[in-house]
Structure 1
Amino acid sequence: MRLTTKLITLTRALALSISTTAIAADPPRFEMLDLCDISGTLSGVPYHINNDGTVTGIADFDGTGDFQGVVWVGGTQAIQLSTLPGEHASVGAATSEAGLPVGTSYIIEEKYGRWYFYPTAVLWDGLVPVSLQDLVTSGPPDLELDEALAVNNHGVIIGAARDTVLERGRAFRLDVNTGELIDLGTLGGNSARPDAMNDNGIIVGQAWTAGGQNHAFRWENGSMTDLGTFGGRDSRATDVSESGRIVGGAQSTTSPELAVLWDVDGSMINLGTLGGNQSNANGISDDGAIVGFSTDSINYAHAFFYEDGTMWNLIDLIPPNQGWAGRANALGINDAQQVTGTMYRQDLGDRPFVATRVHLTIEPPVPGQAGTVNTINLTGATPGSSVYLVHGRNAALTAIPGCVGAPIHIADPQLAGKAQADEKGNAVVQGYVSNKASGKTLRLQAFERSICKVSNVVIHEF
């Protein structure tokens, strides 16, 4: 498709007096990518997405239902995370921006009609699994490192351990640069389990209290703080931003769990639900966008996206007619507001996805036929900026040079045209579409490289 560009020039005929009445913000919008479609895996669960867009989790590679650890890289390939020698299964938990995956390798045995799982915390050095136990040079001698759950960009790993003397679950912190191992302690009870950590060393998770409750905690510089509940028994902290804002879930006297934000000023904010009685927050970006799951009024589970005091059902923020049916859980978000999780897709079951926040809007080509001139309108750009239109046949995540976390959702995108936005942020691309495109389906998407904004994807058959 060869297109030429034309700048829309709009003139203002009247000077309008505009009131300062507040107008509700437009809903955010996302473009969906099914990770199974572009990686060859048959199903999977993504647990973490880093700021490069790398997704870590588990996947079924051969259709047997036996899941292995996986790193989905660049939205184009799935790399299997191997087990330690002689072991049977693996789980990928997270990958740092430096490309260091961490997780767990398992021995699986059947005894007396029951299956037993024996975990070992690992990192993958050049995709070769290394037991974290072998990296310890100092610290408690009785801790057996079972699961690696998160890693920051300083080479610090947190996870779940077992005290081999007391037979209790513990939370550990291991600095792989020095080999120093730390037991994070508890809130007065017997055990603890961490969930997330930021680059400033703040660790959050869940720990038992002396009274037998399981409460969310914040750990920093050797001190563990109880984050409390909404008046119920238990709570849990699942993620922490670089600024120290913490999210998770907490029980109230009437709800089994409600999504919560523990802000840096110490306040505890109930994020609400999508109409049901249960929700939980799983991730937070540096600018405060939060994701998780919530039930609706008929107790159906949905993924949510929360921003500026509003909780949105993610299914309402994505393109229709792609088979996504709603049953979902948003499990992580990065600082570019790429969301990962699982969502039911018609005829395919629960599928792992990446949803990329879009800021520009392109309309379908008009008249949308081959052998004639077509027009594509764009809105939402920065006034005066250059915007680019690309096209391609297949879906993938293709990085825009210099833009981290704002990829094009097209494999091998080809430049179709360039335009300059007018003073209202509108632009138009016009061009002749060859008869050779007749009957072919193309994916169209625009981007503004100067501030790393992308548009929705239009899928059109000419």
Structure 2
Amino acid sequence: MRSTRTNVTILASILLMAGQAAGAPPAVADGCPATTDQWEVTDLGVTGYALDINDLGQIAGSSVSATGEQRATVWDGAQVIDLGSLGGGHASGNALDEDGNVVGNSYTATEKGHAFHWRAGTMTDLGIFGSIPTRVRDVGAGVIVGEYRHLLPNGTARYQAFRIENGVRTDLAAVSGSNAAAVNPARQIAGTQRLLEPPGPASQRAHRAFLWEDGVITELGTLGGQWSQAEAINGDGHIVGQSALGADGVLAGGYIWSAGEGMRRLPDAGGTAAPKAVNDDDVIVGTHTCTEAGTTAHAAVWTGPGAAPTLLPDPATGTATMANAVNAQGEITGWAEAPDGSRRALVWRPAPGSS
């Protein structure tokens, strides 16, 4: 679940400490962002990924078993729940909501890329829909969203965004290839359409982020380039993602979009912002790549749309990090790349005294 209602007391204190108010004009700083001391990092103790976190603090992701299989996993306090698989021994939990729904992907005994829905100990195979594997990306209030790929009569592949509610799958009326990245409790969906397969050079890309609501698709525009893509939506319908900055499509910036203010570029401190999630107080997480430090992306947080990025602290197990989701308490999930190339599941929590 990518959209949450934040505890105002916690986040208001963080905003004050950061010295930035949400909605202030974007500021660009010289040099790489500083590392914040307002969050503390915990390694979840497994090789794997932490991909989502709900308002209850439950985390969905994957962990690698002793036999080397990737297993769909939920962390619920001290309890670590292996969700199993669809028979193929390889699965990942991609998202979860507050109602006990977990969605992800799994191998079966004979095929890859089946979507699944897990609830109360039962994993249901959602299938592949087309002749090419399906991906489920998010679940909110029981609504599941994602995309599948299928072959056109000329043999090329295209993406098709879909939603599943009460067991009924509906393809979104998007054009020229589409995905559905996230859904909020109001059943609004953020996604991207006009996707090419294969993507092709940046100068040829023309995809657009969109908002789907009650069957109507609204394109969000761009930051001046010819493409944009959506990553997450919060409960107020605010969407974050990336957009091209120029006609060549190479340089990109992070954005937040709202119906009232349109698309606004996130401050990037002279680097590259890549937001992945936003909560209902517009606290945004993702990665920041500092041009002065090379090309390594680092987990970052923006405490509001006008706040400068700050880097989340590294664990002892790795320094190349990614932040994937943020919940109502300001808890953030992600992963770090260890020196041996493996990845470690992480959670960052507000530090004591920051509330």
Structure 1 length-normalised TM: 0.53
Q: Which amino acid aligns with 2:63?
A: S
Match of 2:299 among 352, 361, 376: 352
Contact 2:40 2:351 in 1 (8 A): no
SS in 1 for 2:35: helix
Match of 1:272 among 221, 242, 254: 221
Aligned-pair CA distance for 1:145: 5.3
1:399-431 residue CA offsets vs partner (Å, 9 max, x unmatched): xxxx9669xx998479xxxxxxxxxxxxxxxxx
1:247-288 residue CA offsets vs partner (Å, 9 max, x unmatched): 111116874421111112x11111111111221111111111
Runs of 5+ unmatched residues, structure 1:
1-25, 40-74, 84-88, 110-116, 317-323, 361-394, 397-402, 415-462
What is residue 335 of structure 1 aligned with on the other side? 280
Contact 2:179 2:192 in 1 (8 A): yes
What is residue 242 of structure 1 aligned with on the other side? 185
SS in 2 for 1:195: strand
Match of 1:79 among 42, 45, 64: 42
1:99-122 residue CA offsets vs partner (Å, 9 max, x unmatched): 21121113699xxxxxxx742111
1:305 pairs with 2:256? yes
Aligned-pair CA distance for 1:325: 1.6
Change (3 A) 1:129 1:27: closer
1:31-87 residue CA offsets vs partner (Å, 9 max, x unmatched): 99x998246xxxxxxxxxxxxxxxxxxxxxxxxxxxxxxxxxxx421110122xxxx
Q: Which amino acid aligns with 1:330?
A: P
Q: Which amino acid aligns with 1:313?
A: R
d(CA) in 2 for partners of 1:413, 1:119: 35
Change (3 A) 1:207 1:359: closer
Aligned-pair CA distance for 1:185: 3.0
1:290 pairs with 2:239? yes
d(CA) in 2 for partners of 1:31, 1:107: 45
Higher strand share: 1
d(CA) in 1 for partners of 2:306, 2:298: 25
Between structure 1 and structure 2, the one with the greater Rg is: 1
Identity of aligned residues (%): 26
> In the comparison of the two structures, how many residue pairs are matched?
279
Change (3 A) 1:413 1:143: closer
1:206 pairs with 2:168? no
Match of 1:314 among 255, 266, 277: 266
Structure 2 length-normalised TM: 0.68
Q: Which amino acid aligns with 1:97?
A: D
Q: Which amino acid aligns with 1:201?
A: G
Matches within 5 A, 1:1-400: 28-29=24-25, 37-38=35-36, 75-83=38-46, 89-106=47-64, 118-127=69-78, 129-133=80-84, 142=87, 144=89, 146-165=91-110, 167-175=111-119, 177=120, 179-198=121-140, 200-209=141-150, 211=152, 212-230=157-175, 232=176, 234-251=177-194, 255-264=205-214, 266-297=215-246, 298=248, 299-307=250-258, 308=260, 310-315=262-267, 324-345=269-290, 347-348=292-293, 349-357=296-304
Q: Which amino acid aligns with 2:216?
A: S
Aligned-pair CA distance for 1:146: 0.6
Change (3 A) 1:186 1:224: farther
CA RMSD of aligned residues (A): 3.6
Q: Which amino acid aligns with 2:256?
A: F
- Relative contact order, CA 8 A, sep 6+: which one is greater? 2
d(CA) in 2 for partners of 1:154, 1:255: 38
Aligned-pair CA distance for 1:124: 2.1
d(CA) in 2 for partners of 1:252, 1:82: 37
Contact 1:206 1:236 in 2 (8 A): yes
d(CA) in 2 for partners of 1:146, 1:333: 26
SS in 2 for 1:244: coil
d(CA) in 2 for partners of 1:250, 1:128: 39
Runs of 5+ unmatched residues, structure 2:
1-21, 197-203, 314-327, 332-349
